[in-house]
Chains A and B, each alone.
Chain A
Amino acid sequence: MVVASPFQNNTEEVKILDLHNLTLHEIRDMIRSGEVSAKDVLQSVYGRIDAVDDKVDAYIALTRDKAYEAAEAIDKRLAGGEALGDVAGIPMALKDNISTNGIKTTCASKMLENYTPAFDAHVYEKLKEAGAILIGKTNLDEFAMGSSTENSAFKTTKNPWNLDRVSGGSSGGSAAAVAAGEAFFALGSDTGGSIRQPASLCGIVGFKPTYGAVSRYGLVAFGSSFDQIGPFTKDVEDCAIVLNHLYGYDKNDSTSLAVEHGDFKEALNKEIKGMKIGLPKEYFGEGIAPEVKKLVMDGVKVMESLGAHVEETSLPYSEYALPVYYIASSAEASSNLARFDGVRYGYRAKDYEDLNDLYIKSRSEAFGDEVKLRIMLGTYTLSSGYYDAYYNKALKARRLIKQDFEKAFEKYDILISPTSPTTAFKIGERSDDQLAMYMSDICTVPVNIAGIPAISIPCGFSGGLPVGMQIMGKALGEASIIKAAHAFQRNTDFLGKRPTL
């Protein structure tokens, strides 16, 4: 383990205020050994939030009272000698598009500013049952549409490594919270890169599971056939731990896969000698910053030095990934977001003439520009006369992109690419340049199109900003990804670095 615990030399000097630098599994061990209580950990994390979140702006809302209640309950159970799981007593954050019963779930939209769900998302229910403690809901691009959190109706989350820069998106709040020590892990959702890209920009681990591996029940839908919930963690071991708690069949999500997942921790501490790694050349070409490319290739060399076989390969249809993604995900979004009509819940315009006027005014006033743009794009591509030219063609191309990956995984265990073509860009830099913003997802989008799993793990720093490496696996090939990522982590020290705030 490269990450050094500040306490290993002198445990008596544990300072609750410094706990925030530790990983989930380190905190777990300390709670189990009785060194600290769940309440101590919670205090430490809220202390950190109070100290830095006015700079980072990771959170939309905090759930302090409920969190302390939950922490005390965990401490009682521990005092009673109960053996609890890995996440018991661990403070976590949820992206604010994951439904929490009795706690506002805003999707960073004026539309749902005052919307309180009456039910929990499946993943939250599972984590709560395992004893994880919700500390707050994190910022995002409105309805998860964006790559910088600048589309949030409430605030822009800053990059903890450089407050003038974006945290990435759409799950920027969750990424920044974990990177800044404001949570030990967080959940995000990934439709086209919304976990991996901010993880990359914030220098932490972000994982997008196989489509169907994690229940979407309670996740406010954006692109239903792309959306997956996944974790942000400080290292690969933590990632494996959280995945263990997220995976599994859910009868309430018809797209949920009825497959047994093993213990992902078993993929840790394994050798990668003989592992076959493909480098899809399309992911290293135009648009990828030279420094990013270099650091990812350095990472690949580390893998090679550990005995992996690396060779260049090709995913020719990935070229069409962005248009396919923007057509298909926007089409689904236009339908998914139609329910926000001002009738039953959410924002309703004050003055309206009739029903149609109520719809138009409520939606015009409450949705932000990016959301409107995607709704219009999606509505257009589904319209009669255009369906075949756009939506149907996108579906066909989607199959081809998927087949590309299937073919590649006949040969390779994993594929490696950059996660984001650049490091974190300046706030405002791409706000007026739609295409530049969309290019942020060029390496991550194909993964969602194919429904396969992928991780982003830090592989270096450029100009003081983290660079992420994406490791992709075949459908349900999570174990190979974790094995490779953990081997990489054990032999590098990028994950041990913490931003100064």
Chain B
Amino acid sequence: MNYETIIGLEIHAELSTKSKAFCSCKNEFGAEVNTNCCPVCMGYPGALPVMNKKVVEYAVKAGLALDCQISLYSKTDRKNYFYPDLPKAYQISQYDIPLCKNGKIQVQVDGENKSIGITRIHIEEDAGKLIHGTEVEDYSLVDFNRSGVPLIEIVSEPDMRSPVEARLYLEKLKGILEYLEISDCKMQEGSLRCDANISIRPAGQKEFGIKTEIKNMNSMKALQKALEYEEERHKKVLSEGGTIVQETRRWDEAKGITVSMRTKEQAHDYRYFPEPDLVPIVLEEKWIDEIRKALPELPDDKRRRFVEEYGIPDYDASVLTLTKELSDFFEACAKGHKNPKAISNWVMGEILRIMKEKELDFKDLKIKPEDLRKLVDLIESGVLSSTGAKQVFEEMFRTGREPEALVEQLGLKQISDEDVIVELVKKVLSENQKSVEDYKNGKSNALGFLVGQCMKASKGKGNPQLINKILKDLLA
């Protein structure tokens, strides 16, 4: 039987505000344990939360960028559950009236635009972090630095139809949040987290199948793999005549499988109710308009602009605008350059390859945009061969030095002096009379041999285009 897969995602993004959501403690990753905490974020009796206005502003930014309606009136609610990393034993969240709702996001699936609905975006606070001892030293400690860090939860509609689509959606969403500069969006550090709901149904059936929720995917790749695994598991269960159990499952990265965490019956009853310690969030249209006006250029707009302004293919533009840092880097290189497509090729090719290989962030990239421009110029002016250019690029990446000096140092400068080349070619021709004869008798591959001999004679530094041209001239 043919099945259709239905996927919806719940994304948690930590907001990169200076201070926490409800107190003035610093919001920073990686500080010494329990140094960024106070009576409020440690849930001491009598301490009270105060809403950080920036949190609302950042969430509204996300809502506007994702085409949401912004609620002029919303409120916070308490989500009650016991866990040692949750010091108040409730999380301040938003329940029935989220700050933003009914948005959408455009994703390119197989070259087609697809719209994926955003159900809601709401504000909530993060919990602390548990640090577990070993089996020998059996203890658990709590670090409250993360407790009270602001989050937005972005819930999608069940609009995705494959694990790849889910990944594309998450990539696009991550890109938008980064463009807005409201979240670091680092899945490894947990500043971007993703839970997925998945179900399958026989093709053509209207009703949704029974869904499972998967947690603990720490990378884009993990999200796709976990969904692929779960998709297959559902198919197998159904094809064997079984039924899916509605449950929450954990992705086990090492084993590459999902395992059951809890079933619907074991699900928490969070006993949501309005947070009495905070007043409702009441926004003015004017304030929202100001935020709207101050929104930065977003990926889709930038993509269109890149095509127009730099004359690069739409595919290039969509890749280059996926993250803000990448698009900024490309633009810094391409601005005013006569061959933006050549720049695009280098950025999409070598730059992305090496950064992926070394798992680098743009902030750690030593190559400066002006140096990449120079590298392209050196190739175009014939100073550098494409093989030489790759060598120079590796050195630029490693040392951050500018390409001209590296060309000198590595002795990669091409011989483009015509007189020198003419001398060199003449010498090669005189030493290879047989090949000259062959060429004149119509064996065109003899030219290749002669080019090779010339290159060898120049110790690889001769400009191949020039050698080619002069060879042909002299043989004519």
**Measuring CB to CB, which residues of chain A are less than 8 angstroms from any residue of chain B?**
98-99, 105, 107, 112, 115, 117-119, 121, 216-221, 223-225, 251-255, 331-332, 334-335, 338-341, 343-345, 355, 359, 379, 382-384, 387, 391
Known: A338-B88, A339-B87, A355-B84. A382 touches B273 (CB 8 A): yes
Assess the B45–A384 pair: CB atoms within 8 A. Answer: no
Interface residue range, chain B:
20 to 34
**What separation, in Å, do the CA atoms of A216 and B279 have in the docked complex?**
14
Tell me the nearest residue of chain A to B81, going by C-beta.
Answer: A338
Given the complex, which residues of B lie within 8 Å of A382, measured CB to CB?
80, 271-273
Contact in complex: A339, B46 (CB < 8 Å):
no
Residues of chain A with a CB closer than 8 A to B278's CB: 254-255
Q: Is B47 an interface residue (CB 8 A)?
A: yes
Interface positions, chain B 250-307, Cβ under 8 Å from A, are 269, 271-273, 276-279
Q: Say whether A254 contacts B277, CB under 8 Å.
A: yes
Q: B44: CB under 8 A from chain A?
A: yes
B89 at the interface (CB under 8 A from A): yes
Contact (Cβ within 8 A) A254 B84: no
1/0 per residue, CB under 8 A from A, across B70-92: the answer is: 00000000101010100111100
Inter-chain contact A383/B279, CB cutoff 8 Å: no
- Please, how many angstroms separate the alpha-carbon atoms of A387 and B272 in the complex? 9
Nearest Cβ distance between residue A218 and chain B, in whole angstroms?
4
Can you list 15 A-B pairs with a CB-CB distance of less than 8 A?
A98-B46, A216-B46, A224-B277, A252-B48, A332-B276, A335-B80, A338-B88, A338-B89, A339-B45, A339-B88, A339-B89, A343-B142, A383-B271, A387-B271, A391-B273
Q: How far is the CB of A328 from chain B (nearest CB, A)?
A: 9
User: A254 to B45, Cβ gap below 8 A?
Assistant: no
Residue of B nearest to A395 (CB): B274
A221 touches B45 (CB 8 A): yes
Binding site for A on B (CB under 8 A): 39, 42-51, 78, 80, 82, 84, 87-90, 142, 269, 271-273, 276-279
In the complex, the answer to whether B46 meets A99 with C-beta atoms within 8 Å is: yes
Instruction: Name the residue on B nearest A251 (C-beta).
Output: B50
8 closest pairs, A vs B, by CB? A338-B89, A382-B271, A224-B276, A225-B276, A220-B45, A218-B46, A99-B46, A339-B43
Pairwise interchain contact A254-B48, C-beta atoms closer than 8 A: yes
Which of A253, A254, A382, A387 counts the most chain B CB atoms within 10 A? A254
Q: Tell whether, in the assembled complex, residue A221 and residue B46 are in contact, meaning their CB atoms are under 8 Å apart.
A: yes
Q: A112-B45, A254-B278, A339-B43 are in contact. List 4 more A-B contacts (CB 8 A).
A: A217-B47, A332-B276, A338-B80, A384-B271
Other-chain contact of B46, A217, A225, A355 (Cβ < 8 Å): A217
A341 contacts B39, CB within 8 Å? no
List of B residues within 8 angstroms of A107 by Cβ = 45
Q: Which residue of B lies closest to A223 (CB)?
A: B276
Note all chain A residues with C-beta closer than 8 A to B47. 119, 217-218
**Chain A residues, Cβ within 8 Å of B89:** 335, 338-339, 341
Kindly name the residue among A343, A383, A391 whose own CB sees the greatest number of chain B CB atoms within 10 A. Answer: A343
Question: In the assembled complex, which residues on chain B have CB atoms less than 8 Å from the CB atom of A221?
Answer: 45-46, 277
Q: How far is the CB of B400 from chain A (nearest CB, A)?
A: 48
Contacts of A387 in B (CB 8 A): 271, 273
Taking CB atoms, residues of chain A closer than 8 Å to B84 are 341, 343, 355
**Which single residue of chain B is at the shortest CB-CB distance from A346?**
B45
Residues of B within 8 A of A118 (CB): 39, 44
**Residues of chain A lying within 8 A (CB to CB) of residue B271:** 334-335, 379, 382-384, 387
B39–A335 CB distance below 8 A:
no
Return chain B residues, CB-CB under 8 Å to A338.
80, 82, 88-90
Give Cα distance in the complex from A271 to B95, angstroms.
51
User: Which of A107, A221, A383 has the most CB atoms of chain B within a 10 A radius of its CB?
Assistant: A221
Enumerate chain A residues within 8 angstroms of B42, measured Cβ to Cβ. 344
- Please, which residues of chain B bring their CB within 8 A of the CB of A340? 45
**Chain B residue at minimum C-beta to C-beta distance from A143:** B45
Question: What residues on B are CB-neighbors of A251 within 8 Å?
Answer: 50
The residues of A that contact B39 with a CB separation of less than 8 Å are: 117-119
Partner of B273, one of A253, A254, A335, A359: A335
Contact A117 B78 (CB under 8 A): no
Q: Could you tell me the distance between the alpha carbons of A121 and B45 in the complex, rounded to whole angstroms? A: 10
State the Cβ distance, A142 to closest chain B Cβ, in Å.
13
Determine the chain A residues whose CB is within 8 A of the CB of B78 once the complex forms: 335
